[in-house]
Structure 1
Amino acid sequence: MSGEHLSNIPMTHREIAQAALRATVGSATIDSIRPIPGGVSGALVYRVTAGGRRYVLRMEGLASPLRNPHQYTSMRIAAQAGIAPRLHHVDEVARVAVMDFIVEQPLNTYPGGPHALAQALGDMLRRLQATPRFGRFVEYPEIVARLWAHVCRTNLFAPGVLDAHTQRLADLRGAYTWNSDEAVSSHNDILPRNLLFDGERLWLVDWESAYCNDPVVDMATMLDNFAPSPELEEVLLQAWLGHPPDRSLRDRLELMRALTRLFYAGVQFSAVATAARLVPDTDLSAPTLAEFQQALRDGRLAPDALETRHLLGKMYLAAFFTGEKPPGLPPPISAFQVMGTAEA
């Protein structure tokens, strides 16, 4: 294997990459190894071309305190069900996987438009939840609470600024009830950046958060990211359930949507907290989506800047508190610029 190709990979991961690729392609010549940008998990992800085929090489970064131990088993089950791309190699000890590379087409080119996409997503979720159950991990409200506690410890915000949100989280956790025997296989991070369309069908990628969970978690995230109108929400729900949800399920979905919004606010703030902030923020005001997009178009916000993520976190925080829809997380944040230009 050419050292030139491996030069894109940090020294700490070169032996892991070499072993995984040899197990996948054997003696075939590796033509290229190129980084795939845009991920937020910290994983090292590369597109590999070898023997006339393209693969994705994914190696985990530093393990977080909440690292999910079931991700590779979950990925295998999903691949066998045709929901995740085909797996060629997995080494759970080395924390590496090699899978098919999907040549991605824009989701807005899905045949039949948003209605058909919502139907396909609901069907995909129904098939995922019918697979052999993934391993159990931490219950979702606990995951959210731990992430939020971390945010509150970062000193991103001045003392007292987040107290009302912390209380709302406590209220939601107190109201949350479910039967853990009803847990199903869950991706737990179904965002546009993790959904690929190859021109014919959909694939889910990035299974690091996948474990057995409350069935409404994935649907809550889907509703906020793929159903911008009440009509599309109903299409998505009908395709998932096969019938309209009852009042009880709708109430559970609303509660879970609030929790997922706080989770993604926490993800943004945690990323921002990796850089020193001189003065804690005292202002939780958030721009509208239209204002956010305009700021990106005007160049007042840089798509991948930490300040942009800070504002995005505030938008999710506002949605958590008010019940309004959050902005969504297209792949990557810079896609806001493209979306905004298209709508202008």
Structure 2
Amino acid sequence: MAAPEVLDRIPLLSGVPRTVELLPGGLTNHNYKVTVPSGCYVARVWASDGSLLAIDRDAEHANSIAAAAAGVGAPVHDYRPGLGVLVVGFLPGRTFTEADLLDSANLPRVARACRRLHAGPRFVRDFDMFEVQQRYLAIVRERGFRLPEGYLDFMPTVAQIQKCLAVRDEGTVPCNNDLLPGNILDDGERIWLIDYEYSGNNDACFELGNIWSESDLPLGHLEELVTAYYGRRLRHKIARARLLGLMSKYGWTLWASIQDGANESIDFDFWSWGMEKYERAVSEFTGSGLVALMDEAARAD
């Protein structure tokens, strides 16, 4: 169904006059800025049902409401699963770029937004990259999708990392789990976090490590981000975020493999996107400091 036809079936967005603008970004949604007499909204129209990627649209809706209640997400105005649409308020502001995250002055602001989200209402599901990676791997093997060379060689190390992180496990908090620069908005005063497709209760250090990983930030920036989040420098938390950032790269590599094999209609080079992450993961898996990093994550400061 074309976007105008979908919007016509949503009373909030069917007002006249109406302007519709396709927003950039989004691979599993098409996002439209819709302006009608009652206000300005964003209609997130599903590009796929997301089932292969473990996207739960009902959970996305519920968690978006929770993020709005926490004061860090856009208000939710309508949800029409039959039409494949989630309608949220339009947040005026500028979308972050990697350059914004390279600016150290922004890291405490991002940390504050994460703390606000993490202190908010619990989400309706959990997200654990170790489990997600295993689920993605099963799909890749069952469907015969491409697997990067040597990918399975690192599975024993992954098991060691998971065991080491269990030593100082402090539970989970509601996390976005997908804070690419494009999912961070700056209105000039505060930071907003958008897009809750992969949201779920998770280790706070995954959120921080994923931010670092997704934008390929220098290690010093991760240390600043983690320190700003916790209010003091904690060696074991920095190590934990680094290890979970590594798992982010390793797990999202398979997300790209699934997209590469299943979404021929989307004009995007998923394989190259995933291989870039995988190559960075390999350099960390094979680096000389991984054992020491696991030791740091398991020890008290």
TM-score (norm 1): 0.70
Partner residue of 1:323?
A: 284
Partner residue of 1:204?
A: 193
Partner residue of 2:63?
A: 74
TM-fit CA distance, 1:122: 0.7
Q: Give, in whole Å, the separation in 1 of the partners of 2:189 and 2:59.
A: 29
Are 1:274 and 2:282 matched, yes or no? Answer: no
Q: Give, in whole Å, the separation in 1 of the partners of 2:162 and 2:191.
A: 33
Q: Give, in whole Å, the separation in 2 of the partners of 1:111 and 1:175.
A: 33
Partner residue of 2:88?
A: 99
Gap change, CA 1:227 and 1:262, over 3 Å in 2 = closer
Q: Give, in whole Å, the separation in 2 of the partners of 1:212 and 1:181.
A: 12
TM-fit CA distance, 1:59: 3.2
Gap change, CA 1:91 and 1:52, over 3 Å in 2 = closer
Gap change, CA 1:318 and 1:305, over 3 Å in 2 = same
| Structure 2: gaps of 5 or more residues | 286-301
Q: Which amino acid aligns with 1:207?
A: Y
Say whether the 8 Å CA contact 2:226–2:238 is kept in structure 1: no
Matches within 5 A, 1:88-237: 88-91=77-80, 96-105=85-94, 107=96, 114-157=103-146, 161-177=150-166, 182-225=171-214, 228-237=217-226
Give the secondary-structure state (helix, strand or coil) at the position aligned to 2:86.
strand
Q: Give, in whole Å, the separation in 2 of the partners of 1:161 and 1:236.
A: 32
Are 1:57 and 2:43 matched, yes or no? Answer: yes
Q: Pick one of 19, 26, 34 that aligns with 1:39.
A: 26
The structure having more radius of gyration, on CA atoms, is 1
Q: Which amino acid aligns with 2:274?
A: G
Say whether the 8 Å CA contact 1:227–1:236 is kept in structure 2: no
Q: Give, in whole Å, the separation in 2 of the partners of 1:197 and 1:238.
A: 21
Q: How many residues align?
A: 280
Say whether the 8 Å CA contact 1:74–1:210 is kept in structure 2: yes
Q: Give, in whole Å, the separation in 2 of the partners of 1:275 and 1:211.
A: 25
Are 1:250 and 2:238 matched, yes or no? Answer: yes
% same residue? 21
TM-fit CA distance, 1:273: 1.4
CA deviations on 1:83-108 (whole Å, 9 max, x unpaired) are 11222223467653222223443536
Partner residue of 2:248?
A: 260
TM-fit CA distance, 1:246: 3.2
Say whether the 8 Å CA contact 1:31–1:50 is kept in structure 2: yes
Gap change, CA 1:57 and 1:166, over 3 Å in 2 = same
Q: Which amino acid aligns with 1:18?
A: D
Give the secondary-structure state (helix, strand or coil) at the position aligned to 2:33.
strand
| Structure 1: gaps of 5 or more residues | 1-5, 277-303, 325-344
Q: Which amino acid aligns with 1:311?
A: S
Give the secondary-structure state (helix, strand or coil) at the position aligned to 1:209.
coil
CA deviations on 1:4-43 (whole Å, 9 max, x unpaired) are xx9544x6xx3xx4343x1x35x742422333342122x2
Q: Which amino acid aligns with 2:35?
A: T
Deviates more, 1:93-102 or 1:253-262: 93-102
Gap change, CA 1:322 and 1:105, over 3 Å in 2 = same
Gap change, CA 1:153 and 1:168, over 3 Å in 2 = farther
TM-fit CA distance, 1:200: 3.7
Q: Give, in whole Å, the separation in 2 of the partners of 1:96 and 1:8.
A: 10
Q: Which amino acid aligns with 2:230?
A: L
Q: Give, in whole Å, the separation in 2 of the partners of 1:158 and 1:262.
A: 12
Give the secondary-structure state (helix, strand or coil) at the position aligned to 1:128.
helix
Q: Which amino acid aligns with 2:8?
A: Q
